[in-house]
C-alpha cells in the first residue's frame, strides 16, 4: 500500500507532465503547415507528434507504476496490446488483400482484369487502394478490403 504522500507526488508528476507534453503537442500541431515534408511524404511534425505521444504514454505508465505498482502497469500494457491488436485487424486485412493483388505480371501494362465488376487495367496497387483504369478512361479506386470478398478475373495475360 502506497502512502498518501507517494500517491499525491505521483498524481502531481502525472498532471505536470501531461500539461507540458500537451502544450508541446499543441505547438507542433499549430506549426504543421510550416514544416517541410520529408522524403517519405510525412511532415517532420508527424514524427515529433509520435514521439511526444509516446512520451505521454510512458509518463502515464510511470505514474501508474509509482502510484499503484507493477500489477496495474502489467494490466494496462496487456489491455493496450489486446485493444491494439483488435483495432488493427481491418487494416491488416486491407494490406494483405493489397499484397494478394500485387503479384508479378498482374500489374504490367496490357493486363485486363475485372475487379468487383469494374473492367480495366490495374495501374497501381497501394497499401489501402487499387487503381484500375477503365476502358472509358476513368480511374477507379477500389479499396483493398473489398478485394477479398469477390473474385479477381484476369482477362488476358501472357504471364499465366
> What is the C-alpha end-to-end distance of the chain, expressed in Å?
69
Mean pLDDT of the chain: 77
Rounded-to-integer distance, Cα 102 and Cα 35, Å: 34
**Whether pLDDT at 42 is above 60:** no
DSSP state of 37: B
DSSP string, 47-75: HHHHHHHHHHHHHHHHHHHHHH-HHHHHH
Q: For residue 124, name the pLDDT band (cuts at 50, 70, 90).
A: confident
pLDDT for res 22: 80
**Whether pLDDT at 88 is above 70:** yes
45: left (phi over 0), alpha (psi -120 to 50) or beta: alpha
**Whether pLDDT at 158 is above 60:** no
**Whether pLDDT at 90 is above 70:** yes
Do the beta carbons of residue 140 and residue 118 sit within 8 Å?
A: yes
Other beta carbons within 10 Å of 57: 13
CATH number listed for the domain at residues 96-156 = 2.30.30.60
- Model confidence over 142-152: pLDDT tens digits? 888 787 777 77
Amino acid at each position: 500500500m502506497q502512502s498518501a504522500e507517494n500517491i499525491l507526488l505521483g498524481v502531481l508528476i502525472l498532471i505536470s507532465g501531461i500539461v507540458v507534453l500537451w502544450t508541446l503537442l499543441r505547438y507542433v500541431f499549430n506549426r504543421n503547415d510550416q514544416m517541410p515534408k520529408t522524403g517519405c511524404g510525412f511532415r517532420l511534425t508527424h514524427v515529433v507528434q509520435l514521439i511526444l505521444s509516446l512520451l505521454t504514454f510512458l509518463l502515464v505508465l510511470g505514474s501508474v507504476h509509482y502510484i499503484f505498482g507493477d500489477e496495474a502497469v502489467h494490466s494496462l500494457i496487456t489491455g493496450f496490446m489486446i485493444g491494439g491488436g483488435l483495432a488493427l485487424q481491418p487494416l491488416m486485412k486491407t494490406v494483405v488483400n493489397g499484397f494478394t493483388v500485387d503479384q508479378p505480371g498482374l500489374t504490367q501494362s496490357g493486363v485486363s482484369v475485372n475487379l468487383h465488376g469494374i473492367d480495366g487495367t490495374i495501374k497501381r496497387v497501394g497499401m489501402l487502394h487499387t487503381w484500375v483504369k477503365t476502358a472509358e478512361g476513368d480511374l477507379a479506386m477500389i479499396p483493398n478490403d473489398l478485394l477479398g470478398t469477390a473474385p479477381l478475373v484476369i482477362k488476358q495475360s501472357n504471364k499465366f
